[in-house]
Amino acid sequence: MAFRADDLQTSLSLLTEALELVSDNSAIWENRGMVLLKLKRPEEALASYEKSALIDPSQASAWRGEGNALSALDRRDEALGSYQRALDADPNSAAVWNDRGCLLAEEGRFSEALASFDRVVALTPDSPLAWSNRGGALKDLGRLDEALASYDKVVSLVSNDAVAWYNRGVILSDLDRSLEALESYERALQIDDSLESAWHNKGTELAKLGRYEEALASYDRALAAMPDDAMTLYNRGHALLRLGRLDEALLSYEKAIARAPGFAEAWCNRGSVLLELKRSDEAVASYDRAVEITPSYAAAWYNRGNALSSLKRFEDAVASYDKAVGSDAGLAEAWNNRGGALFEMDRLGEALTSYERAASAKPNLAIPWGNRGRVLLELQRPQEALGSYARAVAADLAYTKAWIGHGIALLELVRAEDALESFDRALRIDPSSGIVWYLRGRALMAASRHTDALASCDEALKRDPALDLAKRAKAAALHAIGCEEFGHGRFESAAHSFAEASQVVDSTEPVYEYNEIISLDRSGRGTRTRARLRSLLRRFPGFEGTLRHLERPPQWWWDWWFGETWPRRVFGSVLVLLLACYLVLPLLNEGASLPGYLRFFSWGRSFEYYLLPVLGTLLLLLFPNIRRFGREGLEFGPCTTAPLAEALPLAEALPLAEALPLSALLRAKPTADQRMPEHGLTSPAWHQG
């Protein structure tokens, strides 16, 4: 029951006049105290209640009133003493047990408060307030399921009580049952749509469900009734941030800060928005303000480290992450990003330790395991790296970078086919990644599947035409195909492969052009071979393959005629056969005697007779080296040591990019008065003695 101030003043005057007539009536003193307490004059109310209790110590309501006045004066221990006197006078007073429970709850003595509320429920099992206060005590003790049962009892008793539905929503929210909590808040608002806290908490549950547009509308409804509420402005900023409306989010956080300058979470989230806006220096300043207000605020220290990392101030970032894990040793994200900063400074051992702490704090978080694998690869420990990447993909099968690292570790361990399977897994997750197609090509190269490797590198370049690693890998695949063709005597095909490889890398690798020259020469289509080699040497001084060819000693005639191409072998064989005929025919004509054979080659024969065998012999023995010096001859084989493209750079940063959750969800406060009214469950307030 509400009283107007004028009514209360009138009542006070009447009671004062009554006391002038009857000064020893305890009921009048008690009722006077009640009126004074409603007028927020607790000192005078206390004096009246004390007078009433002095006149009639057995009157429990007087002791209860004294306890309420002492509680209003923040004299809590004395108030508890007065409540105990009231219970001594009337152990079954539900109102006293309730007020005692409320005071104990305010003191943080929740177990004792619960015991008091249990007595109230036992005495008044159909009292919604009793069940509500019991639910509040259970909530504070963390016994949420029992608290929910109490609030379910409340709404079963009074289904049209908006506050009861609201408080039920608070418990469901704490149980992470957002859909049910949302339904409870909506029931509360159907009953009373002016309940600002219900609009706020409805927005919070919608944000937890990712329905940020609806959450924003709820926050706006709450702000229409309470435009200066810093918490609502703060959570509204969170919704705007998630919607990517960064400038509006920043404004909302700044409004929250203007209304509550000591709101550390708002300073922290303001910094996160500034970081998203690439205003890292301002973000650091905002985080500085947050940790100045709350020095043990781990999330702010963590986010500050992220901002400093974005500024490449890695030493300062590590110091900030140290503060974060000092405040919360289980903050895996901070350990992980600390490892990233140490990695950037090439402090690999410390980085490895940091990643291991992150993985220990959250064993099911994939990213620390992936980063640990990355460091182990850098430390040339591929077997351990493989195990770490295996943990990463077990935690998150869609973690592309972990599959990439897994494949790289397998390549390091010379397990090309297994590596190929890992890269294929990565491509099933992200088929548009040029890097993964390139690495797949590397695995195929290692498995000597050069044609497939070439196709994979082509796929990489389709997705990222500027990927130099893929260009170099494609050139290496073409080179390998050229070497295979050369080995099978298909020199023109080999020359084509070498020429294409040279074009892919814009003639920056001399080995491909060199092998093209060799292959063309072997095919018989080479022209100006020596001039081309000298030109190559001028562009790439000291190229080993060219130098070895130019300084090569003369070849034996037999190797030149019979060790290379089929046309040479046929011509050489015919020449040798003719010479043999010149030597053997005289024996057939003159008999087998040596004197007859020598007479056949007497000086009496003409000069022309001897010209053919002499020239044939000279051609057979000397032509290979005459050709070398006079006709740019070339007998060197292909260079098979073409530089393969290096592996994927393993220093690619994999920090957790996102800050901690940017919205501290509202801890809902019950809006009902937990104290039983003075005129409830006691004797009528205006009784006469």
- pLDDT tens-digit series, residues 285-301: 999 999 999 999 999 99
Q: Pick the more confident residue, 398 or 45.
A: 398
Kindly give, in sequence order, each residue whose CB lies less than 8 Å from that of residue 42, ignoring residues fewer than 6 positions away.
36, 69, 72, 73
- Alpha carbons 290 and 275: distance in angstroms, whole number: 15
Task: Look at residue 236 in the predicted model and tell me its pLDDT.
Answer: 92
Q: What confidence category does residue 681 fall into, taking pLDDT thresholds of 50, 70 and 90?
A: very low
Distances (CA, A) of 293 to 231, 267, 326, 492, 526: 17, 9, 17, 77, 80
Q: Residue 612 domain-assigned?
A: yes
What mean pLDDT do residues 71-80 have?
A: 88
State residue 300's pLDDT score.
92
pLDDT of residue 377: 92
For residue 413, count CB atoms less than 10 angstroms from its CB and return exposed for 0-12, middle for 13-18, buried for 19 or more: middle
Segment 339-385, tens digit of pLDDT: 999 999 999 999 999 999 999 999 999 999 999 999 999 999 999 99
Report percent pLDDT > 70 for the chain.
Answer: 77
3-class SS at 173?
A: helix
Residue 15 has pLDDT above 80, yes or no: no
Helix axes 162-174, 178-191, angle to 10 degrees: 170
| pLDDT beyond 70 at 447 | yes
Give CA–CA dist 623/645, Å, rounded. 42
pLDDT digits (tens, 9 = 90+) for 230-263: 999 999 999 999 999 999 999 999 999 999 999 9
Rg of the Cα atoms in the chain: 47
Q: Distance between CA atoms of 656 and 399, rounded to whole angstroms?
A: 13
d(CA 346, CA 340): 10
Q: Is the pLDDT of residue 434 over 70?
A: yes
Q: What pLDDT is recorded for position 680?
A: 25
440 contact partners, CB below 8 Å, separation of at least 6: 420, 423, 424, 427, 456
**In this model, does residue 665 exceed pLDDT 90?**
no
Predicted TM-score (pTM) of this structure: 0.72
Q: Mean pLDDT lowest for which of 386-395, 419-428, 598-607?
A: 598-607
Residue-wise pLDDT for 182-216, tens only, equals 999 999 999 999 888 899 999 999 999 999 999 99
Residue 672 lies in a domain: no
* 71 — pLDDT class (breaks 50, 70, 90): confident
* pLDDT category of residue 587 using cuts at 50, 70 and 90: low
At 673 the three-state DSSP class reads coil
Closest CA to 419 of 441, 400, 434: 441
Residue 626 placed within a domain: yes
Express each pLDDT in 502-538 by its tens digit: 898 887 788 888 888 888 877 766 556 767 777 887 8
Cα 529 off chain centre by: 57
Maximum Cα interatomic distance, the chain, rounded to a whole number of Å: 180
Task: Answer whether 153's CB lies under 8 Å from 162's CB.
Answer: no
655 falls within a domain: no
Q: How many domains does the chain have?
A: 1
Residue 671: pLDDT band (50, 70, 90) is very low
Question: Is residue 334 very low, low, confident or very high in pLDDT (cuts 50, 70, 90)?
Answer: very high
State residue 547's pLDDT score.
54
| Cβ count within 10 A of residue 547 | 13
Query: What's the average model confidence in pLDDT over 103-107?
Result: 89
Residue 608, pLDDT score: 55
Predicted confidence (pLDDT) at residue 682 exceeds the cutoff of 50: no
Using 50, 70 and 90 to split pLDDT, how confident is the model at 280?
A: very high
Q: What pLDDT score was predicted for residue 545?
A: 56
Answer yes or no: are the C-beta atoms of 166 and 668 closer than 8 Å. Answer: yes
CB atoms within 10 A of CB 384: 16
Separation of alpha carbons 75 and 263, rounded Å: 30
The per-type count for the chain, helices as H runs and strands as E runs, is 36, 0
Higher pLDDT, 514 or 217: 217
Nearest alpha-carbon partner for 308 in 294, 292, 287, 331: 287
Indicate the average pLDDT of the chain.
Answer: 80
Nearest to 99 by CA among 166, 89, 111, 87: 87
Q: Which pLDDT score, from 0 to 100, does residue 32 have?
A: 84
d(CA 188, CA 200): 12
Q: Does residue 49 contact residue 14 with C-beta atoms inside 8 Å?
A: no
351 touches 336 (CB < 8 A) = no
| Per-residue three-class SS string for 256-309 | HHHHCCCCHHHHHHHHHHHHHCCCHHHHHHHHHHHHHHCCCCHHHHHHHHHHHH
Instruction: Please give the Cα distance from 422 to 554 (Å, whole number).
Output: 51
Q: Does 601 reside within a domain?
A: yes
38 versus 438: the higher-pLDDT residue is 438
452 in a structural domain: no
CA pseudo-torsion sign 499, 502, 507, 510? negative
Kindly tell me if the per-residue pLDDT of 655 is higher than 50: no
Residues 570, 572, 575, 577, CA torsion sign: negative
- Structural domain of residue 589, as residue ranges? 561-630
Classify 591 in phi/psi space as left (phi over 0), alpha (psi -120 to 50) or beta.
Answer: left
Residue 536 falls within a domain, yes or no?
no
Q: For residues 41 and 3, which has the higher predicted lDDT (pLDDT)?
A: 41
Which pair of structure tokens corresponds to residue 268? Answer: 């922290």
∠ CA(356), CA(358), CA(360), 5° rounding?
70
Exposed/middle/buried for 566, CB within 10 Å: 0-12, 13-18, 19+? exposed
pLDDT per residue as tens digits for the range 130-159 = 898 999 899 989 999 999 999 999 999 998
649 pLDDT band, cuts 50/70/90, is very low
Predicted pLDDT at 317 = 94
Q: Is a pLDDT exceeding 80 seen at residue 161?
A: yes
Looking at the domain assignment, is residue 360 inside a domain? no
Q: What is the pLDDT of residues 527-571, one digit of tens each?
A: 567 677 778 878 887 666 555 554 444 445 555 555 555 666 666
- Give the integer Cα–Cα distance in Å for 515 and 77: 97
Q: Considering only 325-329, 337-341, 650-654, 684-688, which range has the smallest mean pLDDT?
A: 684-688
